[in-house]
Structure 1
Amino acid sequence: MKHVIGLMSGTSLDGVDAALIETDGEARIRALAGVERRYVDEERAVLHAAVEAALAWGFEGDEPDFSAAEAVLTRTHADLIEQVLATSGLARDQVAYVGFHGQTVLHRAPTPKRAGATRQIGNGQALANKLSIPVVFDFRTADVAAGGQGAPLVPLYHQALSENAGLSGPLGILNIGGVANITYIAEDGAISAFDTGPGNGLIDAWCQRVGHGTYDADGQLAARGEESAARLAELMAHPFFAQPVPKSLDRWDFSLDPVANLPEAEGAATLVAFTADTIAHAVAQAGPCRDLLVTGGGRRNPTLMRRLQSALPDTRVRPVEDVGWRGDVMEAEAFAWLAARVAQGLPTTVPETTGVARPTSGGQIVQPR
């Protein structure tokens, strides 16, 4: 058992989470400290500029200069590690590894005619130097190079948590971040996983477009509106939903165009319905689901959670806190756990989770200099 810290900055660009766990990189997991830090406006602007530059690049030609955004990531992530150490009382030399996801700025799923590509920015060496702790980073590239989707990366951790808690299938574990993804554990313990569609990403973007802040706090804007059946049908016609699993996507694969002319509350309600119905579609693809445990920021949106339960009347939809898990830092925990696996050469993705050709251990380990 080793102490490992995981770090996660999601596509919503709202902030960074850190979690300390004690683990063997398998089913033995003990949750310790967990902390969060929101990005200030200036930091978010730099990261958003990096995403815009990546979208314009599109993996064609010379890669943009991401150094300014990487400096923001190094500083903010190191600050959060200091908080974890202070909260836990651990010394630096008691932490075996830091699992550093970095910031996804562009992701392109593979197709039969085109290889996949993914880019997470973040200077692992600079972070290791600043912390004087070994850093594991660049978790997705090896999976994509081996023919996988490169996402989602958390399913094996969900499976380990379920084993640790004595939970059995049929069970779904849903992460609603900027993009939503599901881990499905069948009654016989078999696992499958894939991205389901937009999570909070479109809802957040709509709120920013209409001047309602950076997200829909407590789902209040959507609660005031009626969803548009016609616009919802247009959104649901996206070809992603007809693809077989496993599959992945980028937050920016979907557009606000179908709801562009709706009133503010109606647009928000329609986007909430879109997220809920795409998740229900994913559950139908995965298999019968007795329980759906929800993690990520979306579980804090009561309007979304009610709409999701309505879309899944035969499934009990509830937050992961109901089984004692930490929904605010679960992805950060996952990258701590994955770092422990990389250090041992254990798989971080398997064919059932990303479609990779064979179980693959992703990630690079750098020592502080």
Structure 2
Amino acid sequence: MLKSGMVRALGTMSGTSLDGVDAAVVETDGDRIEGFGETAYRPYSDGERAAIRSALGRWPGEEPVAVAAEIVERAHAGVMGRFRDVDLAGFHGQTLAHDPGGKGTHQAGDGQALAEALGLPVVWDFRSEDVARGGQGAPLAPVWHFALARWIGAKAPVAFLNLGGVGNLTWVDPRLDRPERPGALLAFDTGPANAPLNDLLHKRRGESFDRDGALAARGRVDRDILGRFSRHAWFGRVPPKSLDRDAFGFLDTEVAALSDADAAATLTAATAVAVARGSEHFPQPVATILVTGGGRHNPVMMELLRKGMKCAVVPVESVGLDGDMLEAQAFAYLAVRVQRGLPTSFPATTGVPGPVSGGRVSAPRGGVSAA
């Protein structure tokens, strides 16, 4: 049984950019943030990344999935085992396929196996309940963004932009006292972010990502491709809404005839266009967009975002947050909320009909309890 009051929760994230596992501790009661603890990172090796990549788009029972799941579990157990004095853990797993309204959602990795390995209760499978109840199952970080907006003392609406494999925006009104209040949150996936760019670098150059935007900086944006992209029906669809990692896979074909630099420049510009189109759905304008995720390290991407928006676009570090660990922290916070029966997703974040506390709780030594 989780003790009352503030606890030390460990969260992890292995995102669609396939770089590795982030882990971070948050001190919280599932509502208020008391403070932030230690962090750690465990990169995937090239071989591990290739094995996980081969399982993308696959569902349980398909051949590459078991291998990918074993890698994910081993990597997570290794980095999570470095932490001490933790009360419980949140394990997101590795998203391999996401098809709300169809097959569902699939995150590789077994939380029960991790609970046994770590000797800790582990909260996992955060998305399935939301999808089962008619939600998109994503994004799940908005309730954390709401807590963060209040933590940093925001007095007016603010937006959080996560630039992982897929981009997503959370619009927050911190003037409301609870995330389930109507008008407190709006969240949705904007479109592709780092995934198409990383895949391009992997396919053409055997590299993981465009370090410092150096390749894109040497290229020219193909305006015809960007124009067609900006008119995609996705951008007019009313949120909340979520995407699979490869939902915009056609971009690979679009840039196939371009040089490496021009292709990188075009894909980087597409990320900025997707965010600008997404901001059209904000209930009220914001003065600031706080950027988290790997994309904020790309100066070309950040400059394009600033040029495309009518507000400040700054890394979350500008308000004292850790943009490399925000997603891992989110799943620490979500784990506590699940364990205490508090909602983790809402109609305005995933489209679910009512607030949902989504996740399974696995105890070590074989004891499993449902949240």
- Per the alignment, residue 76 of structure 1 pairs with 75
Q: Distance in 2 between matches of 1:69 and 1:234?
A: 35
- Per the alignment, residue 199 of structure 1 pairs with 193
The answer to whether the 8 Å contact 2:54/2:64 transfers is no
1:267-317 Cα deviation digits (max 9, x unpaired): 1111111000110111111141210000000000000000100101x2000
Letter in 1 for 2:74: R
- Per the alignment, residue 309 of structure 1 pairs with 306
**Structure 2 counterpart of 1:6, from 8, 11, 16:** 11
Shift in alpha-carbon separation, 1:131–1:149, aligned structure 2, 3 A: same
5 Å matches for 1:18-37? 18-37=23-42
State whether structure 2 residue 52 is matched by structure 1 residue 51: no
C-alpha deviation, 1:116, in angstroms = 6.3
- Per the alignment, residue 141 of structure 1 pairs with 128
- Per the alignment, residue 259 of structure 2 pairs with 263
Q: Any idea what SS the aligned residue of 1:310 has? A: helix
Structure 1's unaligned 5+ residue stretches are: none
**Structure with the bigger percentage of helix:** 1
The answer to whether the 8 Å contact 2:146/2:174 transfers is no
Q: Any idea what SS the aligned residue of 1:292 has? A: strand
Q: Any idea what SS the aligned residue of 2:136 has? A: coil
C-alpha deviation, 1:348, in angstroms = 0.5
Q: Distance in 2 between matches of 1:206 and 1:65?
A: 22
Q: Any idea what SS the aligned residue of 1:230 has? A: helix
Q: Distance in 1 between matches of 2:155 and 2:215?
A: 37
- Per the alignment, residue 215 of structure 2 pairs with 221
- Per the alignment, residue 184 of structure 1 pairs with 171
Q: Distance in 2 between matches of 1:234 and 1:200?
A: 19
Letter in 1 for 2:360: Q
Structure 2's unaligned 5+ residue stretches are: 1-5, 177-183, 366-371
Q: TM-score, normalised by structure 1?
A: 0.92
- Per the alignment, residue 320 of structure 1 pairs with 316
Q: Distance in 1 between matches of 2:253 and 2:285?
A: 33
Letter in 1 for 2:141: V
- Per the alignment, residue 342 of structure 1 pairs with 338
Letter in 1 for 2:52: L
Q: Distance in 1 between matches of 2:21 and 2:116?
A: 19
Letter in 1 for 2:337: R
Q: Any idea what SS the aligned residue of 2:56 has? A: helix
C-alpha deviation, 1:82, in angstroms = 2.4
Letter in 1 for 2:296: R
Q: TM-score, normalised by structure 2?
A: 0.91
The answer to whether the 8 Å contact 2:93/2:109 transfers is yes
C-alpha deviation, 1:64, in angstroms = 4.6
State whether structure 2 residue 256 is matched by structure 1 residue 283: no
Q: Identity over the aligned pairs, expressed in percent? A: 45
Letter in 1 for 2:108: I
